Amino acid sequence: MTDSHAGYVLGLADDALISAQRMGWWISRAPQLEEDVALANIGLDQLGQARTLLAHAGALEGDGRSEDDLAYLRDERDFRNVKLVERPQTDFAVTMARLLVFATWQAELYAALAGSTDATLAGVAGKAVKEVAYHVDHARQWVLRLGDGTDESHRRMQAAVDAEWPFVEELFRPVDPALVAAGVAADPTVLRAAVLRRVGQVLDEATLSVPDVAPAVAGGRDGLHTEHLGFLLAEMQHLTRSHPEASW
């Protein structure tokens, strides 16, 4: 069970890490300076969660790998994040649609994990609950304004939701039942109902519709990613790999 325990934590860590990297992409590119700072704040919250989770995954794994080793020295196939977070953001609306889903999922996940029998996981989750509550709120505010805004903002917001929706289902992929039974992991089926209900409410309020689309092929948790993750990692890892042990 130790392997699946470490793997479970690593998956959650990678979700937060890759999402943080995507959020950081907005720095200097956001539509307003105010939004620039807001997205950077959200990314840094996620990075903080990722760091603690990566360190914990390394400890559970028992091979002496640090959070930096895991973040910077793994290759694409060794990452365990869902595909939802790794894809490029072609529009601000895409980032907001994705953040609404991802942060709502994290909110339900961390609320459940705050009572985990894994004390470290419970500690991270307990702290992160307040952070992600704000992320959900931020995404909700924008989805409401863009969805129920002008014709163009509505069209682009709906297009963004449509583009993200096939990747939602992977968040609820089953985890090792032994981990759920032991009180370590959260039950994905319970999370699924709560997340879809909450996201559906926001979309409805924003005059957007829930897409009726088939889920994309999963595989992120097994290291099978889209072609985009490699480029993201190249940018994220290149400094550390070019200058090992560098510090400043």
Partner 1 sequence: MRDWPLWEVFVRSRRGLSHVHVGSLHAPDAEMALRNARDLYTRRQEGVSLWVVPAAEIVASSPDEADAFFDPAADKIYRHPTFYDVPEGVEHL
Q: Which residues bind partner 1 (CB under 8 A)?
A: 31-35, 37-38, 41, 134, 137-138, 141, 145
- The secondary structure of residue 216, as a DSSP letter, is P
CA distance 16 to 19: 5
For residue 207, give the 3-state DSSP assignment: coil
Cβ 37 to partner 1 shortest distance, Å = 5
Q: What tokens were used for 67?
A: 């959070």
Of 31 and 64, the one with the shorter C-beta distance to partner 1 is: 31
d(CA 116, CA 109): 11
Task: Tell me if 154 sits within 8 A of 207, measured CB to CB.
Answer: yes
| Count of residues in the chain | 248
Least distance (Å) from partner 1 to the CB of residue 153? 11
Closer of 32 and 242 to partner 1 (Cβ): 32
Q: Which is nearer to partner 1, 142 or 167 (CB)?
A: 142
In whole angstroms, how close is the CB of 34 to partner 1 at the nearest point?
Answer: 4
The gap from C-alpha 86 to its chain's centroid, in whole angstroms, comes to 9
Residue nearer to partner 1 on the CB measure, 153 or 237: 153
Alpha helices in 25-91 (DSSP H): 33-61, 67-72
Indicate the residue among 87 and 138 with the shorter CB distance to partner 1: 138
Q: How far is the CB of 50 from partner 1 (least distance, A)?
A: 19
- Least CB distance from residue 42 to partner 1, whole Å? 9
Q: Are 113 and 190 in contact (CB under 8 A)?
A: no
